[in-house]
């Protein structure tokens, strides 16, 4: 019995060192070579950090591109979905309200043109990206509110399209924060 206890304690000590010390140090070392040095890619504006590219933010003013709705109000400390199913009346009302808001501020689009991610919250509630279609349906509104040519806004969207991972995994997308910062820079 004593033999097994000593072996168990040794194994526990080895695993503690391996998994609680060496592995985190290895991950931190590898992360230091990534964009942002492992701390995430910060977006800077006028020398001040305005956000991270991996965390969605709330944009509600009509002169900005809107991102995907969040069930947790973009709180990165407590990410999560709403846990409401597609037959839940409250959830259906939220989606209907979001559709109405999009149609109100974007009168040139049809209900069928609205991509699902623009009216449904994600599982994390922190999605920083929207589809290219989600950005394109907002171009006219942005051009009107910012008094810009639609072609200028369309070109800006095209410049901010990020292709699929390794050009083969996933869809093309647009980071809303990067796009809105570029939009503000365009106005200058």
Rounded CA gap, 83 and 56, in Å?
A: 19
Q: Where are the alpha helices (DSSP H) in 81-126?
A: 89-105
Residue 97: the pLDDT is 94
At 75-107, the pLDDT tens digits run 777 777 777 888 889 989 999 999 999 999 999
Domain boundaries, the chain: 1-33, 41-187
Residue 188: the pLDDT is 60
Mean of the per-residue pLDDT values of the chain:
88
SS3 of the chain: helix, strand, coil, percent, to 5: 50, 10, 40
């Amino acid at each position: 019995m004593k033999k097994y206890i000593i072996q168990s304690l040794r194994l526990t000590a080895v695993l503690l060192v391996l998994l609680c010390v060496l592995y985190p140090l290895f991950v931190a070392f590898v992360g230091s070579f990534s964009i942002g040095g492992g701390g995430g890619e910060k977006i800077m504006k006028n020398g001040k950090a305005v956000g991270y590219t991996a965390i969605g933010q709330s944009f509600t003013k009509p002169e900005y591109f809107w991102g995907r709705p969040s069930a947790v109000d973009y709180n990165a400390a407590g990410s999560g979905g709403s846990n409401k199913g597609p037959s839940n009346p409250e959830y259906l009302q939220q989606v209907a309200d979001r559709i109405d808001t999009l149609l109100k501020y974007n009168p040139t689009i049809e209900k069928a043109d609205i991509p699902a991610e623009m009216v449904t919250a994600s599982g994390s509630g922190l999605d920083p990206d929207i589809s290219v279609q989600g950005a394109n349906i907002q171009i006219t509104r942005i051009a009107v509110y910012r008094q810009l040519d639609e072609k200028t806004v369309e070109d800006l969207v095209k410049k901010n399209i990020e292709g699929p991972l390794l050009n083969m995994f996933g869809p093309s997308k647009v980071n809303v924060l990067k796009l809105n910062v570029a939009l503000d820079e365009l106005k200058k």
